[in-house]
Structure 1
């Protein structure tokens, strides 16, 4: 690492949240050009995959008539094929087509009032959902609109944005960076002092207040980490808390959601999606699934005696034994 290099910090807004990048660059490097390049990568994700933008590629797909095949740009295709793969592997715990159900419960871009819909409403809306209805033509890089299928990639797109930025920085000659979009992270390379990027695993609010468990620190050596849980978006109705994470199998918010589910992967996109899928499965089923499939996952759940931490053997291997 050059002695003329420093850590620079950049940041901005994207996908309804914030982004931040710490990177190692020569003091002479034009940070304005780096900032513009990073923002450009993230803006491309929004232009293709934001359901908040009426002219995005995903919004045009969602409005398309039944029987229409839509050719997809590379980034949209990459994310949608990964989402379909994880939906299949998780047996539908992750489903990129449940946007209408999310909206019915009062969350997301098309959110209605925050209320508890009756079973008839849920059944009717769910009849238009289902990842199994998604047909992809790999050769033509296109997706079929079977009729009223509404894609929503919000549980995977932020992670993909992280991956895009990391790849762009590498192509731009940045040898070390810590990239974060809406809490999803990827770190690679070494800081000027020769140390890796170290991050605290996101926690439950109770962990912030009291140290039931020691801080869990990860050294990100070309690794990504994503956390899902109930601390971010939820509401209460008649004394019951409803999470923004919906279980596609029950057509309702996850009950007894883990306070935090963290996944480590080489790709932030996959870590992002698997954190959601494992949250939907629940701590017990999710831990068994993650262990069986070699996923690096940590669960923090609430019990009668306080918080309970569980992690897969693969996750334990990544814990930093010498946090600094």
Structure 2
């Protein structure tokens, strides 16, 4: 199989406060007078929290609460922890009395699934397993899985085959499995934002894999977010100004099946293919979960279809770079 999974999106966080330099992925920066920066990980992705607080003790207590909350949510959403609620669901096909956060996230996922006519679909996991198993074989056909194999995997894909409420989550047919990798980092970001707001934080930038701004910078200026198609990009290809908004970025180059770059990890739940339409797709939205889900779906959709979704959802904005290098923007960016 190809290189190990590191991350499927990349966002550079820039100019968090006056004098604060560019933050790389997982790197540290010297904080300005009132900016306190924490770097860690959430669901395997680099995570950053920038707090504009003079009270260092309060900031330390908040960071402890953030770390505990991220850990709690990982025990629900992680695809790779055998003790997570998601892993139990995929093993058994049903769970009773599911965590409230799982039900909430599935509700948000259903909204994105409906808005994108099925392009966003967390039940795509059987297809991902097919590609992973195919390319892990020593004699793997570089052309990818056969059409028959894809059809069989697709028989277990479809969000309409998932039943959920506060009492249970159930797969309606055998062979189904769920991945929340296309939305959970955004959801965790939103939960951390809620935690900080409840604690009275009025100015912060939170990135638990996706970024969301609380208010503006302390000096009144917007938070500046640099966008790039890969974690190791030397510089962002575009910069956004955010105030009380979120941004999420998806790129097929985050992980590849096989030794070539032909098959990225963003798989189409409708066709079973791994199309390469864009170098990256970034979505600005009111919440990080919405941005996360729509950036995943838009990676599979043509420009006209993306524009149509933005016209129906006026709170969304898109900044994307096609495989040819063309840069386009739709909807509400600022």
Same topology, TM > 0.5? yes
Question: Unaligned stretches of 5+ in structure 2?
Answer: 1-32
Cα distance in 2, alignment partners of residues 313 and 130 from structure 1 = 28
1:162 counterpart = 2:189: yes
1:144-177 Cα distance to aligned partner (Å, 9 max, x none): 2323321111100000011011111111222211
* Structure-1 residue corresponding to 2:48: 20
What is the TM-score when the length of structure 2 is the normalising length? 0.80
Structure with the larger strand share: 1
C-alpha offsets along residues 59-90 of structure 1, whole Å, 9 cap, x if unaligned? 1111225xx56222111111111112211221
Helix, strand or coil: the match of 1:34? helix
Cα distance between partner residues in 1 of 2:34 and 2:271: 51
Secondary structure of 2:53's partner?
A: strand
Q: Within 2, Cα distance between the matches of 1:283 and 1:188?
A: 30
* Count of residue correspondences: 295
Q: 1:69 to 1:30 in 2, by over 3 A?
A: closer
Distance of aligned partners of 1:313 and 1:128 in 2 relative to their CA distance in 1, 3 Å threshold: closer
Post-superposition offset of 1:141: 4.3
Counterpart in the other structure of 1:322: none
Residues 39, 49 of structure 2: 8 Å contact kept: yes
Partner of 1:32: 60
CA distance in 1, matches of 2:56, 2:148: 63
Secondary structure of 2:169's counterpart equals strand
Aligned counterparts, 1:76-95, within 5 A: 76-95=102-121
Contact 1:283 1:301 (8 Å CA) reproduced: no
Matched, 1:98 2:124: yes
Q: Which of 245, 248, 251 is the aligned partner of 2:266?
A: 245
The Cα of 1:292 is off from its aligned counterpart by 4.4
Matched, 1:188 2:208: no
Q: Which moved more, 1:30-39 or 1:86-95?
A: 30-39
**Contact 2:135 2:257 survives alignment (8 Å):** no
Superposition deviation, residue 231 in structure 1 = 2.9
Cα deviation, residue 111, structure 1: 8.8
> Secondary structure at 2:113's aligned position in 1?
helix
SS at match of 2:87: helix
What TM-score do you get using the length of structure 1 for normalisation?
0.82
Residues 195-226 of structure 1, C-alpha deviation per residue, up to 9 Å, x if partnerless? 232222x1346xx6799xxx643222110000
Q: Deviations over 1:252-295 (max 9, x none)?
A: 212x3211111111110010000001111133432343334433
**Please, which runs of 5 or more residues in structure 1 have no aligned partner?**
319-324
1:112 to partner: Cα distance: 4.7
Find 1:233's aligned residue among 249, 255, 261: 255
Please, which of 225, 228, 231 is the counterpart of residue 203 of structure 1? 228
Which of 224, 227, 235 is equivalent to 2:246?
A: 224
1:42-61 paired onto structure 2 within 5 Å: 42-61=70-89
Q: CA 1:311–1:240 in structure 2 vs 1: closer, same or farther (change >3 Å)?
A: same
Q: Does 1:176 find its partner at 2:203?
A: yes
Indicate conservation of the 8 Å contact 1:48/1:58, yes or no. yes
Preserved contact between residue 62 and residue 148 of structure 1 (Cα < 8 Å) = no
Q: Which residue of 2 aligns with 1:309?
A: 327
Distance (Å, rounded) in 2 between the aligned partners of 1:235 and 1:282: 23
The structure-2 alpha-carbon separation of the partners of 1:152 and 1:240, relative to structure 1 and needing over 3 Å to count, comes to: closer
* Greater than 4 Å deviation, 4+ residue runs: 110-115, 208-211
Q: 2:310–2:331: 8 Å Cα contact kept in structure 1?
A: no
1:54 Cα deviation after fit: 1.0
Deviation at 1:297, TM superposition (A): 1.1
Q: Is the 8 A contact 1:63 1:148 kept in 2?
A: no
Per the alignment, do residues 230 and 265 of structure 1 end up closer, same or farther by CA in structure 2, a change over 3 Å counting? same
